[in-house]
Structure 1
Amino acid sequence: MTGTAAAEESTTADTLASFEKTSDPRLKELLEGLVLRLHGYVRELRPTLEEWERAVEFLTAVGQKCDNTRQEFILLSDVLGVSMMVETVNGHGGGTESTVLGPFHVVESPARDSGDSIDLMGGGKLCVVSVRVTSTDGAPLAGASVDVWQCTEEGFYDVQQPGVQPLGNGRGLFRTDGEGHLWFRTVVPSHYPIPTDGPVGELLRATERHPYRPAHIHFIVAADGHRPLTTHVFVADSPHIDSDAVFAVKESLVVDFGLVDDEEKARRYGVTGPFREAEFDIVVEPESQPGSEPERERESEEAGR
């Protein structure tokens, strides 16, 4: 072994040893895994000092671009596919597939009643969205919390246009009725580019990637006794449905927003003229399902008593 190779191994060993007193075993495991992979990356690709400095400058710029309405680190995680990878490895199966949170979620959406409109701008492409929330056995979940947010038909979220859009436009926090159902009026969202005025935009340009996301509506669903779910519904005929910049499209989440030209139905929903309509179920998983890891552990403990 050469002196350089020995020094490389020694650096990795010393770094790993520095975590030996970590009292949290999961934290220790995560840090050790990170160090092993980062050191392996450096040994394999052997970046120059100038390249390393540029990487530090890039990450510094990512942090400096973050504020109360912009999360550039989430954006970076998204475009590198890390956000979707985390969602994928945490999937349990049986429920609606999860997707990324995205950089434009706010902590508190305005509370709304079923049937309300979340479009405060008077957009032209009217849409009615009907959602039914169920458990994996098909039972409707009454009183489930459903947090909704979307962009306008021009492709902007409220936090991107202060002074143009009222805060809360395109957002709503709903509760399902006794049948697990809710509906709301809105506009058909547009496809849009993720923000490219920061370091993540520079990365996309350097790699000749487009910044576009297909049209979608975000949902976070929470129900007692069930795992929270973060997901999207994608508009089936949207541009870029096959090339989402953040890799979040899943076939099961693509929904037809069909055109409805029925005056009676329009009156019932409180809209005028032809409108688009989307109807779909969102299925959330119980906290502990038969066959899940926690359930198997509990069954094993009971069997040993």
Structure 2
Amino acid sequence: MRTVAMIVSVSRRTDIPALYTDWVFHRLAAGEVQVPNPMNPAQVRCVSLRPDDVDGFVFWSKYPAPMLDRLEDLGDIPFYFQYSLNPYGADIEPGIPSLERRIETLLRLSDRIGPDRVTWRYDPILLNSTWTPARHEEQFGAMATALAGAARSCVFSFVDRYRKNSKALTRLGIQAWDEPGMDDMARRLSEAARATGLRLETCAEPLDLSTYGIGHAACVDASRFGRFRSGPDRNQRPACGCSPSVDIGMYDTCTLGCVYCYANAGREAALRAFRAHDPEADRLSRPRIPADDSTPPI
């Protein structure tokens, strides 16, 4: 047994299942994908997608409906889904279908692959005059009831402010959580989760919430693919418990427009990339390379 897993993340940087399903299956058929370095797009890595080289796929999505009828095309490579399902409206998540359709999609996905391979993400938890702890408690409880048995666990985190999302969060009056507020919110969620048999875990949150039976998640987890854990992914945040993985997505390609997103410089850039996208190309998009970049093309 190999001690180091080669896990492919699809993708933290963009919603490939919702937007680029044809492309990812073309890449699977080709057996490889070219991934530009986010910090230096002229530097490109060839990532093998051959079954002998991949221990498993972790799919990240808010609406993976386009993939549901093609899951058998993944062959024998193990996979599971991190499914983000929030109750926010179009002012916060403008590019996705209604909550009812997204719940129905999660239920269908669970029917296809089983609840052990679907993790519900209530992520991120926002705080403003509209999205109060009481409202989150109410909405989360209703969603947990609707999803009972369709997922074994739910992962949550509190909103983080980055350079790319700071203005949008300020515009909506999104506030930072303090530690007592996070503790109270976790307690409220734990009560709703307990009523439906749902295991709660946090994503990249250092706060100890074990009093409420809440642990720390490894959203990318080598042990779920039958591999030994190989230590944390040092490319992620300090409190992240994920195993190392290779992400085949690209920033500035997700058109869903979520205001809290840190993966896009702006929705217009993502729309341009989407319009220029070729589903048969060897990479998700052709990034702009500065004219004065001295690195030769690869």
Give the alignment's TM-score, normalised by structure 1: 0.26
Choose between structure 1 and 2 for higher RCO, CA contacts under 8 A separated by at least 6 residues.
Answer: 2
Which protein shows a greater Rg?
A: 1
